[in-house]
């Protein structure tokens, strides 16, 4: 089977949270925090192998790991940079995302992908380098626990709860 890679762009609030969530999944070759859209939103660029994890599965985790029903807000993070947004890279991604948004009555924005601006180095692997930071303990850890519990079948082996 060919080892192909596709790209997905998701904004689910603070990219510190979404980066570490998507790094837990099987079939992911890279997750890069950055900015996309107008106004710029905090997003992650995910490279994945569709033979190992589907775009549908990525959407399931995306919508299950943040609140897609609040506009321009995730918890205490408020503003358009924290909006729920998907930047689709193909007509198939657009169609699949539209179905999720409709079914969930989400306020998630759906836009064609244009440009990705890589985040500053101090944002990359933030959780791995700052686990003791109060934001990580209070906001990110509960998300990780939820993902480990609800999406265990999609996790790579090192992130499965034994």
Question: Which residues are known to be catalytic?
Answer: 14
User: Is residue 149 classed exposed, middle or buried when 0-12, 13-18 and 19+ CB atoms within 10 A define those classes?
Assistant: exposed
Residues 101 and 47: their CA atoms lie apart, in Å, by 22
Q: What stretches of the chain adopt beta strand conformation (E)?
A: 6-12, 28-36, 41-48, 73-74, 77-78, 84-88, 109-112, 117-118
> Both tokens of residue 94?
């657009």
Residue 121 vs residues 33, 53, 58, 102, 125: alpha-carbon distances, Å: 9, 27, 25, 36, 9
Residues 40 and 80: their CA atoms lie apart, in Å, by 8
């Amino acid at each position: 089977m060919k080892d192909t890679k596709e790209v997905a762009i998701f904004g689910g609030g603070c990219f510190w949270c979404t980066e570490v969530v998507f790094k837990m999944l099987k079939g992911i070759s890279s997750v890069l925090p950055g900015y996309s859209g107008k106004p710029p939103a905090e997003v992650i660029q995910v490279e994945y192998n569709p033979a190992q994890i589907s775009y549908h599965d990525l959407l399931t985790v995306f919508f299950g790991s943040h609140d897609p029903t609040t506009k321009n807000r995730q918890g205490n993070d408020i503003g358009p940079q924290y909006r729920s947004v998907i930047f689709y890279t193909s007509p198939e991604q657009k169609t699949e995302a539209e179905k999720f948004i409709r079914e969930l009555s989400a306020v998630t924005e759906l836009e064609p992908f244009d440009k990705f601006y890589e985040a500053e180095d101090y944002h990359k692997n933030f959780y791995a380098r700052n686990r003791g930071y109060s934001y990580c303990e209070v906001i990110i850890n509960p998300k990780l626990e939820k993902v480990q519990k609800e999406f265990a079948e999609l996790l790579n082996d090192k992130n499965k709860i034994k």
